[in-house]
Amino acid sequence: MTIRRPAPALFAVASIVSALALSGCAAATSGATSPAAVAPEILLVRHAEAESGGTDPALTDAGRRRAEALADLLADEPLAAVLATDTRRARDTAAPTAERHGLTVEIYDPRRLDELAARLRERGGSVLVVGHSNTTPELARLLGGDPGTPIAHHEHDRLYRVDPATGTTVLERFGIPRPATSTGYANRLPAAYQTPKSRLAMPKIGTRRSRRRVAAPRPTRRPTASVTAAIARAAAPAKATSAASA
């Protein structure tokens, strides 16, 4: 039996063609799941919880945990940049996410939000912007998104996802919800974001009932027959006197 083997030159050509075909398939597959194929989003958050007092307060322990929770949430996002105002609480909120993505926190001027919105549209790619309770909803509006209700004083877990091309806005919550305060913010959180422990800690504002008892009106006593007769006898002389004087 004679076995024919392919010529070495033909075998080499076939190997090269096969390798090119496989590399083309791999490129097509990787391109389908590459970050460039994902529609860019502008992610907007307010800074995490900060210390009270001072001109440039730092984050509290709860604020640092929330900043780490934000970094965990955005770990797989194809972020091209991370921006923050030049305040310690905003920079420290943005730092963990920037570090996860190998980025440096870029500083922006919150007094020029219209210019920032224009740059974000032209920049392309997903960007995280850390701001404040008044600047974050306004930036969402300037990007064509829905700012929603005003951010409450104790609200630090709202995340905007704004599509700069269409203005489509998605709101998310991240981290542990803020405990109940006098503003009642925690009571307005959807039940999905409230743990059983947090529900127990939240007083239901406006639903407390007073336990003070209101006394029932006392019944009016009617005079007896003897009392009525005595009153009639006492009134008889007075009628006689008035008739005589007339």
Euclidean distance between CA atoms 52 and 58, whole angstroms: 9
The residue-averaged pLDDT of 45-74 equals 96
The tokens describing 195, both together, are 């743990």
Strand order in the sheet with 105-108: 105-108, 79-85, 126-131, 42-46, 158-162, 169-173
pLDDT at 124: 85
Angle between helices 135-142 and 113-123 (to 10 degrees): 50
Q: Give the rounded distance of the alpha carbon of 20 from its chain centre.
A: 49
pLDDT at 162: 97
Q: How many helices (H) and strands (E) does the chain have?
A: 7, 6
Euclidean distance between CA atoms 246 and 240, whole angstroms: 10
The tokens describing 245, both together, are 């004087």
Task: Output 228 or 29, whichever has higher pLDDT.
Answer: 228
Average pLDDT of the chain is 75
Q: What is the 3-state secondary structure (H, E, C) of 121-161?
A: HHHCCEEEEEECCCHHHHHHHHCCCCCCCCCCCCCCCEEEE
Q: Which amino acid is at 92?
A: D
Task: Output 16 or 202, whichever has higher pLDDT.
Answer: 16
27-58 confidence digits (pLDDT tens)? 444 444 444 456 899 999 999 999 998 899 99
pLDDT at 25: 46
Cross-strand pairs, 79: 126
The per-residue b/e assignment along 167-202, b for 16 or more CB within 10 angstroms, e otherwise, is eebeeeebbebbebeeeebbbebeeeebeeebeeeb
Euclidean distance between CA atoms 78 and 143, whole angstroms: 19
Residue 213: pLDDT band with limits 50, 70, 90? low
Residues in the chain: 246
pLDDT at 127: 98
Task: Output 29 or 220, whichever has higher pLDDT.
Answer: 220
What pTM was estimated for this model as a whole?
Answer: 0.61
Euclidean distance between CA atoms 84 and 103, whole angstroms: 13
